[in-house]
């Protein structure tokens, strides 16, 4: 039994955590009064109307015994009914109101209850334009025969397809019953059976508490192929074999991570390869990572994306940032763990190259960021869409900070600390202050004199990269840098560069180290030797095409148009869109391409490109 001081501390900590969660500026939910603890979905997937139609039953944990109001987050949902369900199971209609719509937050669903009910049941339908759902017609799929649906709930898009408390501070279990066309397969961020018969009915259970942004659904012509005892790849039939081959090391990655940071706690780890309109590289939906096909290049050079999404099974899914201002707790830890997985499976050289590329990229990005967006411990994102506020800073600077701590305390000591951190906060949502308190008690105080408070402050609260930070190096890049320098000096024609053993990372380094602009002869020389224009490798394309735009290399424009229309992954295409909008001619070209591209884009990508075009017009 805990002593009175310990018990009092626990109560005070819970109250403080509730207060911080209630202040999440991206949610209407009053989580200090009541929290959703379980969700039960019963939905029909209606492709003809591009809607989900059905009910959401919420189990409620009342924190304030005087509260009678439940506030939920919604975005463009049509609410048909709300019922309170008593302890006896009887349902009674209750009053509800939808407030005015905020362009970022959506609309608060305010439910007035005569008494605190253990559950409420909401009948609703989604909008065909739901920001967290993409409905693809058959023509936009690989097979061209069946439609496809997939979700993207992060950061605050779950509210566009489920009425709930859409804040990472709240965790809940869920079940779902889906009705879909009989020829299609449904999957969710829950237990999935690769042998499930296509009957049109699917039941899912997630018995681990997750935050709302990890709710996920996909429905389409989806095949499955096992890649290990607890792993499988799901994809359209024409893609599944190729994807399974690319991701065949997934089980090895799980084993390597378990050795470092403790058991994998989610049962299965499956991967769904989505159509190319998916706006992100991957999404760490528990038990079912959603992945872009752009990482399937045939040589496993980009499978660090799988390492990253798998790492989220410990950092993010298991221990979660309680609001989006603390996203470095998710992405910084995950990027650090990703590096350790890559090192364990593919060697230190590959991990070092990926570190160098990441650090180069974040330094470039910081040149255009406000000082307040260059820190890890961000201020509350009041009035900001967390999708647009997200940068590479929490990923790369966060991992760099953790590597600094590893070097300061020693790898063995730091590994034990990180493993203990995951165990201590498992299935909880925390903020930076909570992390710091745990760090000081369990690392700094046990090993004094290793890291100063000023150094911590420089990493967490100051813009830029600390002057004392040690940059990553990669020996294989020395030859790449020398080859580029010799070519730029006119000493070596592109065709004579010894690049036969280069992989994606060397090519990325070669291109991104070029000057801001090249002349047409130089670009043509590179194109003739290496066929950069039209490359199927998105990591190379996202660096090559902006260079051609800045340099006025018009020959690349047809390939640029094809690239921007065929891929919806924001990371890969936004650098080219932004380069195009820098000149009147480029903007005119971009507007024409966008008219063709946007029909195949996810709403998140559409919003990002629209914002870039509107900014350029002004």
Q: Residues with catalytic annotation?
A: 309, 395
610 phi, psi to nearest 5 deg: -60, -45
- C-alpha 198/C-alpha 372 separation (Å) is 51
Assess contact for 215 and 126: CB atoms under 8 A.
Answer: no
Residue 145: Cβ within 10 Å count: 12
**DSSP 8-class letter at 33:** T
93 annotated as belonging to a binding site for a ligand: no
Residue 201: Cβ within 10 Å count: 13
User: Before 155, cis peptide (omega within 30)?
Assistant: yes
157 annotated as belonging to a binding site for a ligand: no
339 annotated as belonging to a binding site for a ligand: no
282 annotated as belonging to a binding site for a ligand: yes
> Of 98, 105, 95, whose CA–CA distance to 158 is shortest?
105
571 annotated as belonging to a binding site for a ligand: yes
Tell how strand 288-291 and strand 269-273 pair up: parallel
Name 215's Cβ contacts closer than 8 Å, sequence gap at least 6.
151, 153, 158, 161, 162, 174, 188, 189, 285
203 annotated as belonging to a binding site for a ligand: no
- C-alpha 455/C-alpha 469 separation (Å) is 10
569 annotated as belonging to a binding site for a ligand: yes
338 phi, psi to nearest 5 deg: -55, -45
- C-alpha 150/C-alpha 129 separation (Å) is 13
343 annotated as belonging to a binding site for a ligand: no
> Of 289, 41, 37, 317, whose CA–CA distance to 175 is shortest?
41
- C-alpha 190/C-alpha 215 separation (Å) is 9
> Of 518, 558, 512, whose CA–CA distance to 534 is shortest?
558
- C-alpha 490/C-alpha 613 separation (Å) is 38
Query: CA-CA-CA-CA torsion for 334, 339, 340, 346, nearest 10 degrees?
Result: 140
Q: Which helix (H) or strand (E) holds 288?
A: strand 288-291
Residue 406: Cβ within 10 Å count: 18
Under DSSP, is residue 522 helix (H, G, I), strand (E, B) or coil? helix
144 annotated as belonging to a binding site for a ligand: no
283 annotated as belonging to a binding site for a ligand: yes
Assess contact for 75 and 107: CB atoms under 8 A.
Answer: yes
281 annotated as belonging to a binding site for a ligand: yes
Query: CA-CA-CA-CA torsion for 60, 63, 64, 67, nearest 10 degrees?
Result: -10
Binding residues for a peptide: 152-154, 279-284, 569-571
Instruction: List binding-site positions for Zn(2+).
Output: 308, 312, 331
Q: Which residues line the annotated binding site?
A: 152-154, 279-284, 308, 312, 331, 569-571
């Amino acid at each position: 039994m805990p002593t009175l001081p310990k018990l009092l501390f626990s109560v005070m900590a819970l109250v403080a955590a509730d207060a911080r969660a209630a202040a999440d500026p991206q949610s209407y939910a009053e989580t200090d009064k009541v929290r959703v603890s379980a969700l039960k979905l019963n939905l029909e997937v209606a492709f003809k109307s591009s809607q989900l139609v059905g009910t959401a039953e919420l189990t409620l944990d009342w924190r304030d015994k005087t509260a009678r109001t439940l506030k939920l987050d919604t975005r463009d949902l049509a609410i048909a009914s709300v019922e309170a369900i008593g302890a006896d199971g009887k349902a009674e209609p209750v009053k509800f109101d939808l407030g005015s719509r905020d362009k970022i937050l959506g609309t608060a669903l305010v439910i007035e209850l005569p008494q605190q009910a253990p559950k409420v049941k909401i009948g609703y339908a989604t909008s065909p334009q739901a920001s967290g759902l993409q409905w693809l017609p058959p023509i936009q799929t690989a097979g061209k025969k069946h439609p496809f649906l997939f979700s993207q709930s992060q950061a605050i898009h779950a509210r566009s397809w489920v009425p709930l408390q859409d804040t990472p501070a709240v965790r809940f279990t869920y079940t779902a019953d889906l009705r879909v066309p009989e020829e299609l397969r449904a999957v969710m961020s829950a237990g999935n059976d690769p042998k499930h018969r296509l009957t049109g009915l699917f039941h899912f259970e997630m018995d681990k508490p997750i935050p709302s942004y990890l709710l996920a659904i996909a429905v389409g012509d989806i095949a499955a192929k096992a890649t290990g005892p607890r792993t499988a790849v799901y994809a359209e039939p024409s893609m599944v074999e190729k994807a399974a081959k690319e991701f065949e090391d997934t089980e090895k990655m799980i084993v390597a991570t378990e050795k470092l940071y403790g058991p994998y706690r989610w049962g299965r780890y499956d991967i769904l390869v989505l159509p190319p309109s998916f706006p992100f590289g991957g999404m760490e939906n528990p038990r079912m990572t959603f992945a872009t096909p752009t990482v399937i290049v045939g040589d496993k050079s980009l499978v660090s994306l799988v390492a990253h999404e798998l790492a989220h099974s410990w950092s993010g899914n298991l221990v979660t940032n309680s609001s989006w201002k603390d996203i470095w707790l998710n992405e910084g830890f995950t990027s650090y763990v990703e590096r350790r997985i890559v090192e364990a499976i593919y060697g230190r050289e590959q991990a070092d190259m990926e570190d160098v590329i990441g650090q180069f990229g974040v330094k470039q990005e910081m040149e255009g960021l406000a000082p307040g967006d260059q820190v890890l411990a961000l201020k509350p994102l009041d009035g900001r869409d967390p999708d647009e506020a997200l940068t590479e800073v929490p990923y790369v600077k966060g991992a760099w900070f953790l590597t600094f701590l590893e070097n300061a305390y020693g790898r063995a000591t730091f590994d034990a600390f990180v493993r203990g951190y995951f165990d201590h906060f498992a299935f909880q949502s925390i903020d930076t202050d909570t992390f710091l308190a745990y760090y000081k008690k369990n690392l700094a105080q046990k090993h004094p004199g290793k890291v100063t408070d000023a150094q911590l402050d420089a990493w967490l609260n100051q813009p830029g990269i600390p002057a004392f930070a040690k940059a990553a190096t990669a020996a294989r890049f020395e030859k790449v840098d020398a080859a580029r320098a010799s070519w730029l000096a006119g000493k070596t024609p592109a065709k004579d560069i010894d690049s036969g053993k280069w992989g994606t990372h060397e090519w990325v380094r070669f291109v991104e180290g070029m000057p801001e602009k090249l002349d047409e002869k130089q670009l043509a020389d590179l194109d003739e030797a290496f066929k950069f224009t039209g490359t199927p490798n998105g990591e190379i394309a996202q660096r090559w095409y902006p260079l051609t735009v800045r340099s006025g290399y018009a020959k690349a424009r047809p390939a640029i148009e094809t690239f921007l229309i065929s891929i919806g992954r924001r990371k890969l295409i936004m650098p080219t869109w932004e380069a195009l909008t820098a000149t009147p001619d480029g903007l005119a070209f971009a507007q024409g391409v966008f008219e063709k591209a946007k029909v195949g884009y996810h709403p998140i990508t559409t919003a990002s490109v629209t914002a870039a075009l509107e900014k350029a017009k002004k």
